[in-house]
Chain A
């Protein structure tokens, strides 16, 4: 090989002891892997080594000189050793990373938020005349257009005024019963009507109402002892109502004559009776039990106050109605010391512009949706010292512009949905409530955001998530999901230094052992002669 690198013109004899192969044999391509030892002879021109001494193992020109090389090698080993100590930093860094990863995974409580999706088909909320007007006209209570609808003879009503009782069927007056003195109770009314197919008193405390019984024209009717059991016949148009009058129930059990056990069935059953106060009426219920009444239609939900009506329900039990208590543009209603349970939709539902509602010391539980809900501009009201628990959705909810209300001292616990919800309802005060073991403790969302919302001194604990949509500074917030777990974090981070020490020590031992043991191979110089 010449100095120009022509491999076919190499200077002979440069590499003593490595004779070139004689002859030139071209290798044919092959389809399998190569053999370990080539068997075909190949002509190779060995290029000359241009530096160093011929026959030397190598021609390296730099660093020649044994002592200098040894010094360099030692220096390199020292530098390498120093650089190698970076592995300890790496171990510390990876331990920290592991701790961070563990902290954000197991060091934090991540209860998955339960789904609150509960399919339930609500009837349309088309505006309709109030049920009392409809039945007085001989129309079913859910009639939307009472001008074009045809009265039905089966729809019957007893309109009780101060001076008379008017019996109506299909909107037509059947009979008028004059009253010498205003009727004060159902036994007197039953006696005056004298027809058990309309109203029947069994003399033993049970009254069966077989037509709509409506107190009208400023009259007042009280249903109390000796009546203990008011049975509203399950047929279209039967209701217990007051229209611009006063109705009081005290110590009675109000129920339908027959009730389907399936609440979904009852929700659409037009034969379901209900209690309703309308048009500045006063409805006062106390010490009573109302069950299995109401259906899914405007103001026919169970016990309702509408259009300026007022009154109260106290010390009573309301269960298995469609909605326990409902108000629509009502005012100054007190709902206190009651037990609402197992109602199909809500326990207590002040609605649509109602104001001055006081909901106090009630227990509302196991309702199909919310325990207590204020919806559509319910203002100036108070929800105080109630317990809402185990409802299928939220415990207490302010919805759709329900503002200026105070939610104070309530307990919302174990609800499938959220504890207290403010949905598009700013300017409310939440104070001293105990909100535990719900989905989200306090949930604020919708229009208006958090404007004017005061949330203070609440105890929020054990919920899947303490809050959504609002911070809970100034509240007692503990052991909720999505919160750090102090004990777990303490364990994780206390293990960090121990782990680092162990890893660093182990690595140091390994490195020292490696340094001492050197190679596991012995020097080999020929092919196939490996140790």
Chain B
């Protein structure tokens, strides 16, 4: 589904990614973990086209997409729910969700009815968003905004979803709630690349995980295996 090979990217002269490689198979949840500044978010941004990679390849459905505009890559079926949630604050919750499905809806009229089934699915998953659908997104709590960001990405009916640090800045109870949603999505067969600072959280839902340090993958494996690894325990799980 998604194959990233030897990816280099950075901001200006400073290179953040120095040869990152990873693979996400269809229907699996893959965790990307590592300390602050390891390049997890940069990896996400280089995959989704928000940042242009300087070297390496990104294959989506065996087609190279590196260097394309983010909006093109999104239309090819990749939904990136970015770090910090980035909901459209002045717009209503429902408008945020509708915009998530932008690329497959008519531009002028009739978009609401065309999106109705998907909208219902998302509201079913996040009843709180249903209650607040007319409220402007900027007035939601952090947890609700995170749910909106996930819901917005789901609206695209993506082939693969990139989810960056869904636990950031949230209270532990809310994080539990978010991860139980991710488990439900996993049961429904979603293909997901999940960036998470907290390794133990990521291991709860991931089928496979990559550990990044200083811009490259230093370890990979099934969570059950990684959890036994002495270096892993010392650095992230201790």
Whether A and B are associated in the same complex: the answer reads no
Q: Which B residues lie at the A interface, using CB under 8 A?
A: none
